[in-house]
C-alpha cells in the first residue's frame, strides 16, 4: 500500500510540475500519465448524458445514487470504509454558459483558489470552498450546463494524489 501511495504522490507531483511550467493556461493530458507503471488497477466509466469518460481506481466502489443524494448527482464512488469519495454532479439551468460564466459563478458563491486548466481538451476550472475538505473540478458541457467532480477529503495527501490521477483522466468520450 505504501508503494502505491508513493507512486500516486510522484505522479501527482509530475502533473503539478507540468502545470507550473506552462506559460498560459496549463494543459493536462491523460496520455502523459503512465498508469500502467503504477501497478494500480482501475476501471473506466462513462457519463453518457454528457459524453465524458474517466478512470477510477478499483479500490473505490461504484455506489448507487439514492434519494438522499443531491438530485444533480450522476456518479458516486467511495472507499468501502466511507473515508473518501469521488462524486460527479451535472448541474442544469445554465444553458449557453461559458467557462468565464462558470468562473464568475464559482467566485460569487465563495469558491476559492479557482485555477483554469485544459484537461484532455476540456476547458476546466478547479476550486475549493472554504471550510469544505474537498476540491472541485468543473467544466461547461456542450449544452452549456456544468459538470463537476468533487473529491473529498483532500487533506489526506494519499487521497489528494488519487484525486489528481482521476482528474487527469477526465476526457470527452471516445
CATH number, domain of 47, equals 3.40.1000.10
**pLDDT given for residue 21 in this prediction:** 39
- End-to-end CA, the chain: 32
Residue with cell 463537476: 148
pLDDT beyond 60 at 5: no
User: How confident is the model over 19-78, as pLDDT tens digits?
Assistant: 443 447 789 989 998 888 888 899 999 998 888 999 999 999 999 999 999 999 999 999
**pLDDT given for residue 116 in this prediction:** 92
Closest by CA position to 117, among listed 38, 21, 35, 26: 26
Q: What are the residue ranges of helices labelled H in 22-156?
A: 99-108
When divided into structural domains, the chain yields a total of 1
User: How confident is the model over 99-121, as pLDDT tens digits?
Assistant: 888 888 888 887 888 899 999 99
User: Reduced to 3 states, what is the DSSP secondary structure of residue 117?
Assistant: strand
Report the DSSP pairing between strands 171-172 and 135-140. Answer: unpaired
**pLDDT given for residue 17 in this prediction:** 40
Burial zone of 71 (CB within 10 Å; 0-12 exposed, 13-18 middle, 19+ buried):
exposed
**Model confidence, pTM:** 0.82
What are the percentages of helix, strand and coil residues in the chain, rounded to 5? 30, 35, 35
Q: Residue 94: give the domain boundaries.
A: 2-172
Amino acid at each position: 500500500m505504501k508503494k502505491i501511495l508513493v507512486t500516486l504522490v510522484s505522479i501527482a507531483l509530475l502533473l503539478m510540475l507540468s502545470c507550473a511550467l506552462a506559460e498560459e493556461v496549463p494543459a493536462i493530458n491523460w496520455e502523459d500519465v503512465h498508469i500502467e507503471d503504477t501497478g494500480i488497477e482501475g476501471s473506466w466509466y462513462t457519463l453518457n448524458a454528457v459524453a465524458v469518460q474517466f478512470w477510477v481506481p478499483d479500490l473505490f466502489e461504484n455506489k448507487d445514487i439514492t434519494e438522499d443524494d443531491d438530485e444533480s448527482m450522476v456518479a458516486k464512488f467511495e472507499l468501502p470504509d466511507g473515508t473518501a469519495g469521488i462524486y460527479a454532479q451535472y448541474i442544469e439551468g445554465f444553458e449557453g454558459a461559458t467557462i468565464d460564466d462558470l468562473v464568475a459563478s464559482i467566485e460569487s458563491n465563495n469558491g476559492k483558489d479557482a485555477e483554469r486548466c485544459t484537461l484532455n481538451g476540456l476547458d476546466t476550472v478547479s476550486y475549493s470552498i472554504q471550510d469544505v475538505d474537498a476540491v472541485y473540478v468543473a467544466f461547461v458541457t456542450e449544452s452549456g450546463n456544468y459538470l463537476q467532480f468533487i473529491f473529498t477529503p483532500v487533506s489526506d495527501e494519499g487521497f489528494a494524489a488519487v484525486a489528481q490521477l482521476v482528474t487527469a483522466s477526465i476526457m470527452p468520450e471516445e
